[in-house]
Chain A
Amino acid sequence: EAQVTQNPRYLITVTGKKLTVTCSQNMNHEYMSWYRQDPGLGLRQIYYSMNVEVTDKGDVPEGYKVSRKEKRNFPLILESPSPNQTSLYFCASTGGATNEKLFFGSGTQLSVL
């Protein structure tokens, strides 16, 4: 089944404790991205990747890191989480070119205390 797998589904942590949210897709998509969703603000892009070892900042990249060492994986790293990063996070992928449909992961609800 074609899917984007995101883990964990829920995460509670404390300020400053490094964490990683994993994202993997099985559709051989070149393009992957991370969004955060906050009430009243919609979906805002954090980072995106056009291919292995190619990443770029989105609209709200501060406080986040990403890496794309393999085509299928695109983890989101918070080196020193802060309470303002409490949010719902979505990973997404697309085949691009002739298929711009975004496939979203199931989301990660992160709470930073």
Chain B
Amino acid sequence: GENVEQHPSTLSVQEGDSAVIKCTYSDSASNYFPWYKQELGKRPQLIIDIRSNVGEKKDQRIAVTLNKTAKHFSLHITETQPEDSAVYFCAASKRYSTLTFGKGTMLLVSP
């Protein structure tokens, strides 16, 4: 089955800096790559996603890039703010009903 590796497991940045979280996947048939944000004590929520026919997608301060050849995708957060502090999960799927998640990255943004 699909295997998703996510790095780093923790990431500390200063407010205003950029943050990058990277994921690799194993199944070349995977074609959907979402990112979820989970604040402390809350449920995961989708923040951005990308499909395999697109190389990059942006939404305000967040962007996701995909390299199908290398089978990796990344989340970029610019101008980080304290409210960006959370656990971020990447995921991959080739069937929309079955997502395989990475183990998560705890992002800490210090004021």
- Taking Cβ atoms with an 8 Å cutoff, the residues of A that contact B are 31, 33, 35, 40-45, 48, 50, 58-59, 90, 94, 96-97, 100-102, 104-107
> In the complex, A94→B32 CA distance in Å?
14
> In the complex, A29→B36 CA distance in Å?
20
Residues of B within 8 A of A90 (CB): 43-44
A96 is contacted by which of B1, B43, B96, B104 (Cβ under 8 Å)? B96
Q: Range of interface residues on chain B?
A: 20 to 34
Given A59-B1, A101-B34, A101-B49, residue A50 in contact with residue B101 (CB < 8 A): no
B60-111 residues with Cβ-Cβ distance < 8 A to A are 89, 93, 96-104
Residues of A within 8 A of B99 (CB): 45, 102
Q: Which residue of A lies closest to B46 (CB)?
A: A101
A43 is contacted by which of B1, B44, B46, B96 (Cβ under 8 Å)? B44
Q: Which residue of B lies closest to A6 (CB)?
A: B43
> In the complex, A90→B44 CA distance in Å?
9
| Beta-carbon contact of B43 and A105 below 8 Å | yes
Please name 24 pairs of A and B residues whose Cβ atoms are closer than 8 Å in the assembled complex, sorted by A. A31-B96, A31-B97, A40-B9, A42-B101, A42-B102, A42-B104, A43-B89, A50-B97, A58-B98, A59-B1, A90-B44, A94-B96, A94-B97, A96-B96, A96-B97, A97-B96, A100-B34, A100-B49, A101-B46, A102-B46, A102-B99, A104-B43, A105-B43, A106-B43
Residues of A within 8 A of B103 (CB): 40-42
B45 within 8 A of A: yes
Residues of B within 8 A of A94 (CB): 96-97
Q: Which residue of A lies closest to B43 (CB)?
A: A104
Residues of A within 8 A of B102 (CB): 42
| Beta-carbon contact of A48 and B43 below 8 Å | no
What's the nearest-Cβ distance from chain A to residue B100, in Å?
Answer: 8
Residues of A within 8 A of B101 (CB): 35, 42-44
